[in-house]
Amino acid sequence: MNPALKDVRSVMAMAAFFLVSAFPLLSNAGPHDPFPPGYSMGNDGTILHSGGPSGRQPWAPAGFYGDTLNYGFSACGIDYYDAMDNYESSHISQALAGGWYRYKSLVCKASYAYLQALGAYNEQEGFFSAATTAIPFANTSLELTGFRSGLMDGSKAHESFVHAGMSVLVSLRYAALSLSCGDLPLKAAADAGFDPPPTLTAAVHTRFNGMGAQGVACELWKEGDYQFRFSVGEEYNFNNYFSVCTALSTNPFMLHFGVTVLWSNTSASLAFVQHPVLGWSKGLTFDWAH
């Protein structure tokens, strides 16, 4: 490679890294969802393979994808928490579906999520992310998310708002460093309590090694005071078809467990998240790529 071009790419990678880092430090942070959906639910996003199902997730930043496959689809369903002592038959659940497409060094992802609670409240989320892999070692993406939430009986007007985000994945020899800044309001909701606060996430994800793959992730956001969340996870591959993962997170304390079955470019993941007070959340994800 031309040394000059190499220098330019290095400078661009550094610039992208600092650009992404600077955004969240200027803002507040914190998403509504308690944990990431899909494949990442079982490891709280600590395990990331740009060439595996974690990088292909349509609801994850496009910058996290780094494979040669051209397109794919995913679907996920999550049932949140244990049955409680009221509305026993009414669940809080979310369904997600999306796809992605790669054209040369451009990757686009789009997904749609629908959350309903107790048959009385719903949230819809449209997600779009575009990334480029042109920068060596640093895949950078921009995200755009539109939200719409409201009461299902129509007694109150729905509220809509739009957020933006940026992500970068820096791939190194033994690990990858991911940085993302989400929920930066482009169009804020009229009242407080709708917009989740912006969040800065930084994580280190190892490549597969003799002990599987490991990862740590940190989140920072401002909710009154600055809040910090730490996660650490592990995934172990028994073979090319079967893997298990687990993760632990703080603030709030939660335990994540996941099982993934892979067959060629298709995978299915079953994940569980346990919270000491609210109980178990269950998630199931299917992924197909070509």
Binding site for another protein (CB under 8 A): 30-34, 80-82, 84-87, 92, 117-118, 120-121, 123, 149-151, 156, 159, 191-194, 196, 223-225, 251-252, 254, 275, 277-278
Give the residue from 57, 139, 55 showing the smallest Cα distance to 105: 139
Residues 6+ apart with CB under 8 A from 186: 144, 162, 163, 164
Residue 31 vs 77, nearer CB to another protein: 31
47/115 with CB nearer another protein: 115
Least distance from another protein to the Cβ atom of residue 121, Å: 5
Beta carbon of residue 122, minimum distance to another protein (angstroms, whole number): 10
- Least separation in angstroms between residue 251's CB and another protein is 8
Closest separation in Å from C-beta 6 to another protein: 43
Distance CA 17, CA 22 (A): 9
Q: Phi/psi at 12 (nearest 5 deg)? A: -65, -40
Query: Do residues 38 and 269 make contact, with C-beta atoms less than 8 angstroms apart?
Result: yes
CB-nearer residue toward another protein: 77 or 150: 150
215 bridge partner residues: 205, 233
| 163 versus 205: smaller Cβ distance to another protein | 163
Q: Which two tokens stand for residue 196?
A: 């989740």
Kindly state the smallest distance separating residue 148's Cβ from another protein, in Å: 12
Q: Dump the DSSP string for 161-206.
A: EEEEEEEEEEE-SSEEEEEEEEEEEEE--SSTTSSPPPEEEEEEEE
Rounded to an integer, what distance in angstroms lies between the CA atom of residue 222 and that of residue 95?
Answer: 28
* Nearest-approach distance from CB 228 to another protein, in angstroms: 12
Which one, 104 or 156, has the nearer CB to another protein?
A: 156
Q: Min. distance of Cβ 276 from another protein in angstroms? A: 10
Residue 84 or 211: which CB sits closer to another protein?
Answer: 84
The DSSP 8-state label assigned to residue 117 in this structure reads: E
CB-based contact 35:273 (threshold 8 Å)? yes
Q: Give 34 or 126: the residue with its C-beta nearer to another protein.
A: 34
